[in-house]
Amino acid sequence: MSRKKRAPSVIPVEPEQARLAAAKAPGFSQGWMFPSDTGTLRTPNTMDRAWAKCLDAAKVKHRFTVYGLRYTFTDLIFNARQK
């Protein structure tokens, strides 16, 4: 536990990770947290494809990155605390 920030000592495992562990998915036993279906590391474009589907579902037509989402979230939280 950090002195500056009280972090949880136990990090909960998401359902997808629990499913991979239960299925003994290839790559999971090597310590990969999110292995591909073949047991290798996922490629960077895996996130790009998932993000593109999210943007399509939300009908966002202009360029908006995951980093932009992070900064927007931070700004919204900061502004909410200022009120």
Place of tokens 């908006």: 64
Cβ(51)–Cβ(44) under 8 Å?
no
Name the residue with tokens 């931070």: 74
Q: pLDDT digit of tens for each residue in the chain (83 aa)?
A: 445 666 666 666 677 777 767 677 777 777 777 777 787 887 878 788 889 999 999 999 999 998 898 899 999 998 888 87
Q: What is the pTM of this model?
A: 0.47
Residues 64, 33: Cα–Cα separation, whole Å = 26
